[in-house]
A and B are shown apart, each in its own frame.
Chain A
Amino acid sequence: MTSPNQHTNVKINFHYDKQYREHVSEGSPDRWIDMSLSAAGEDIYGGSRGVVTGSACVIVLDLLDSIEAIRSNDRGIITFDDGPSWLSIAKYDESTVEIAACHTLKGAKNPKNRLDISRTTVVTQQAWEEAVLEFSRKFSDKVTDINPSLSNHETIEQIREKVNTLIRSGE
């Protein structure tokens, strides 16, 4: 496990490939998309490791829910349905969170059930929240750039509202 590093050390990226762009152009933003994630200088998904794949909107909503969860001292779980893989986010101490790349849902829910090969990293809670909020905002912008008619899409609106709510409640 790594130690908390500087607070700007979480990077989340979607890989907007041709197939995904076509789905968005056709009005379906919640299709499979590859994601990479690095934290505290380590590749959790992508980079030196395989990317992880899931439903774009589901991933973004799960990530936003993880902020609500850790603010309530609960655990957030991001599900990648085209793995499957799970990312578990929980408070590590007062100002940091543990990010765990898990191989089973049971392991994501309870560290005692994790397989030996699960990977964990600790970053500041501020770094996690800022990275997720920025990533989510960029996602909704990207989708509506590709297909402006999706600005009124129910799930895109839901994402935008969640981002705004979380920003307001975190101030």
Chain B
Amino acid sequence: MADGGRHVDDLSASEQATLGARISKSQDSSATRTFVDELDTVDNVRRLLDQDQASVNRLVDWHANPGSYRNIDPDLEASDFVHVARNGDVSETRLMARGPDESGSFQVRWLENGDLDRGWTHIEARHIRGTQKIDEKDATSIFPTGKEVKGERMPNTISQNEVIDMTYDAIKRGTPTQQGQKTRYYFEPVDAGYPNSGIDDMQVLVLSDGTIETAYPNSGSAVKRWVPDLNDGQGGFVDTT
């Protein structure tokens, strides 16, 4: 049985045993106990128990060391971490942040590796490497990370890690608007901490559960846009300023 803890009495005997095992096997049992104590409901404790030990260790580590990990928001609370673990894949998470929705209420948002339709895999394929259906659809804009796209070297003003940094800052400091169940964050990197990025504005789209679906640059001196209709359908790049 897990000793102490404000939620322990609300757990069944078997749940208490599982919790005790999680704590005793964790990398830092004291930090894990603190994490459990800070969870707001016993349901969140149960959700934590659904995670494997590696995920629990990761969540507790992030929570116990605020500010130590790039793009893991130090403002996150224990229940935010459990929300992400319940709705996403902690082992794939590249950023996690609390950002306001349109009403001003703060929600947890996170970026996973995802797939070609959403998450980092989508962002990298479509807006960094330009390999995702770039000729099959209307135009797209490319982050200036110096990659060669359609035979042309993109401007090299930011790194791929800085794309994630900007996505994090868009959630933290951008302007949210909501349409249906999705939230879009508008952010101006050049004027908000990335003066040499050549990205005037960008947007981040978040699904209703908080997962980041995509992020893309809108325009700027270093933002190129691939337009398939140009040059008699051969396609071509245009500047966006």
Contact = CB atoms under 8 A, between A and B. Distances in A.
Contacts of A57: 179-182
Most chain B CB neighbours (cut-off 10 Å) among A34, A61, A79, A104: A104
Given A81-B213, A106-B201, A62 B179 contact: yes
Contacts of B240: 103-104, 115
Nearest to A105: B218
Nearest to A107: B219
Given A103-B227, A104-B218, A104-B240, A82 B137 contact: yes
A32 interface: yes
Interface stretch (B15-23, B44-52, B64-72, B138-146): B138-146
B214 interface: yes
Contacts of A53: 137-138
Interface residues of B, number: 31
B109 to A, nearest CB: 15
A37 to B, nearest CB: 10
Contacts of A62: 179
A50 B180 contact: no
Interface in A56-80: 57-58, 61-62, 79-80
Interface residues of A, number: 31
Interface in B171-213: 179-182, 184, 200-201, 203, 205, 208, 213
Given A50-B228, A81-B203, A117-B230, A103 B139 contact: yes
A51 B181 contact: no
Taking chain A's interface residues, is the majority helix, strand, or loop, or is none over half, making it mixed? mixed
Contacts of B184: 79, 81
Contacts of B180: 30, 55, 57-58, 61, 155, 158
Contacts of A41: none
A103 B225 contact: yes
Most chain A CB neighbours (cut-off 10 Å) among B138, B139, B182: B138
A94 interface: no
A68 B135 CA distance: 34
A171 to B, nearest CB: 26
A158 to B, nearest CB: 7
Contacts of B219: 104-106
B167 to A, nearest CB: 14
A45 interface: yes
A30 B138 CA distance: 19
Contact of A115 (B181, B205, B216, B238): B238
Most chain B CB neighbours (cut-off 10 Å) among A30, A81, A84: A84
A106 B218 contact: yes
Interface in A83-135: 83-85, 103-106, 115, 117
A106 B202 CA distance: 11
Interface of A: 30-32, 34, 45, 49-53, 55, 57-58, 61-62, 79-85, 103-106, 115, 117, 154-155, 158
28 contacts: A31-B117, A32-B117, A49-B229, A50-B135, A50-B136, A50-B137, A50-B138, A50-B139, A50-B229, A55-B180, A55-B213, A62-B179, A81-B184, A81-B216, A82-B126, A82-B214, A83-B137, A84-B141, A84-B203, A84-B218, A85-B139, A103-B225, A103-B227, A103-B240, A104-B240, A105-B201, A105-B203, A105-B219
